[in-house]
Structure 1
Amino acid sequence: MLDRRARALLARPVDAITRAVDRPGITPDGLTLAGLGLGLASALAAGLQLWALALVLWLVSRVVDGVDGALARRRRADGRLSSESQAGGFLDITADFVVYGATVVGVAVGATAGFGAPWWPFLLVLLVYYVNGTAFLAFSSIAERTGRRIDDGRSLSFLGGLAEGTETIIVHALWLILPFWAWQIALVWVVVVGISATQRMVAGYRALR
């Protein structure tokens, strides 16, 4: 829901960071892997109840994740990167899924150990993530094959929904800021992501009919 506004709002700072890191030896895939490493480190820190460290690592990992695609587009525009290769897009979405899932597990471990939080709300989050991810990845694959691709500059065809990347970043940050309320936040998030998954399933089915 907020992704388009967030991209417009952050376009200038992301472009400035992209120009700063556009140096020999720094590649989009390298940034993706760096974001993956930082995200996994954030999940580990959450599991160890190092909440402030986990928050910093989480936010930095998401900044790096935003810059990798911008750097790839910049280099494609001036011919320094093949416009045919989609390997970077594949690596990026895979890393995102790994980081999102790991963060849920890390927060669940830390909140359970530190505040006696129940496990099941976090298991429900993973379930709705699975359903939501299945819906938009299946749509993207079929839309590409049938010539109905949604081109917004990203590697995949993203169907909009109530819960998008921006909301995910915010909610995961809230878990790390308010870990003593993590399971309650998780329950609300399950409802939001569940609605988003339903929206994507309906919209995707209608678009592909």
Structure 2
Amino acid sequence: MLDTHARKLVQPSIEGTGRYLLRKGLTANGVTFIAFIIGTSTGLVYYLGHPVLAVILLWLSGFLDAVDGTMARLTKPSPFGTVMDVTFDRIVEISVILGVAFLHPDIMWALLLLSVSVIVSMTIFLTVGAVTEKQGMKSFYYQAGLAERTEGFILFSVMMLFPSILLWSTLLFFIVEVFTGLQRFLEAKRILS
């Protein structure tokens, strides 16, 4: 929801950073890879007992993830860049979930539910993007929903920074993902029927 509706507020800083990195000789795919390395370190950093640093790394990777897409649109988007971007985003999320799971094995069952809900919601999102003829500013149809990447990062941040409510924040994230999956499924039925 925030990615869709609030992007215009942060787009000037995203675009400015993208133009700067292009002038420095970086490519969109290069920035995608940098964001991936930073993002996948999040789970390990959290597990090693540095939750604030983990959250900073998560948000830095998310910012660079937005920058790389803008850089691609300013130059020449590549289909493989899209594959890298979507794949690396999921691996970053898996990193966070694994870091939390290894540090808090007592709530493994809730993290498993969260993982399943993310898989189902993303399956719907990616399938609709692949089969629909609609195009947006991205290289495929971007299906908005209650939980987009920013909401996920907010909930991951709450999970990592407030361990006393970890179970409840994980269950809230699960409910939000289930709702988003249902929302996307119903939209898919509407636009593809």
Same fold (TM over 0.5): yes
Contact map agreement 2:41 2:95 (CA 8 A) in 1: no
2:5 is equivalent to residue 5 of structure 1: yes
2:162 maps to 178
2:144 maps to 160
1:200 maps to 184
Given the alignment, which residue of 99, 104, 108 partners 1:119?
108
The TM-score, its normalising length taken from structure 1, stands at: 0.87
Contact map agreement 1:43 1:102 (CA 8 A) in 2: yes
2:124 is equivalent to residue 135 of structure 1: yes
Matches of 2:28 and 2:155 in 1, distance apart?
A: 26
Identity of aligned residues (%): 29
**Which has more helix, going by share of residues?**
2
Aligned residue type for 1:33: F
C-alpha displacement at 1:89, in angstroms? 1.0
SS in 2 for 1:22: helix
- Number of matched residues? 193
1:102 maps to 95
2:73 maps to 73
Contact map agreement 1:6 1:166 (CA 8 A) in 2: no
Contact map agreement 1:135 1:200 (CA 8 A) in 2: yes
Aligned residue type for 1:55: V
Q: Mark the runs of 5 or more structure 2 residues left unpaired by the alignment.
A: none
**Pairing 1:49-88 to 2, within 5 Å after superposition:** 49-75=49-75, 81=76, 85-88=78-81
Contact map agreement 1:111 1:180 (CA 8 A) in 2: no
Contact map agreement 1:107 1:182 (CA 8 A) in 2: no
Matches of 1:152 and 1:2 in 2, distance apart?
A: 16
Contact map agreement 1:42 1:54 (CA 8 A) in 2: yes
2:38 is equivalent to residue 45 of structure 1: no
Deviation readout 1:138-171 (Å, 9 max, x if unpaired): 111111xxxx22x221122122211112211211
Contact map agreement 1:121 1:187 (CA 8 A) in 2: yes
C-alpha displacement at 1:4, in angstroms? 2.0
Q: Mark the runs of 5 or more structure 1 residues left unpaired by the alignment.
A: 76-80
- Structure 1 segments (4+ residues) deviating >6 Å: none
Contact map agreement 2:4 2:144 (CA 8 A) in 1: no
Given the alignment, which residue of 82, 88, 97 partners 1:89?
82
C-alpha displacement at 1:182, in angstroms? 1.9
Matches of 1:3 and 1:64 in 2, distance apart?
A: 14
Q: Which has the larger radius of gyration?
A: 1
Deviation readout 1:165-195 (Å, 9 max, x if unpaired): 2211211121222133222100011111101
Contact map agreement 1:28 1:68 (CA 8 A) in 2: yes
53-62 or 126-135, which deviates more: 53-62
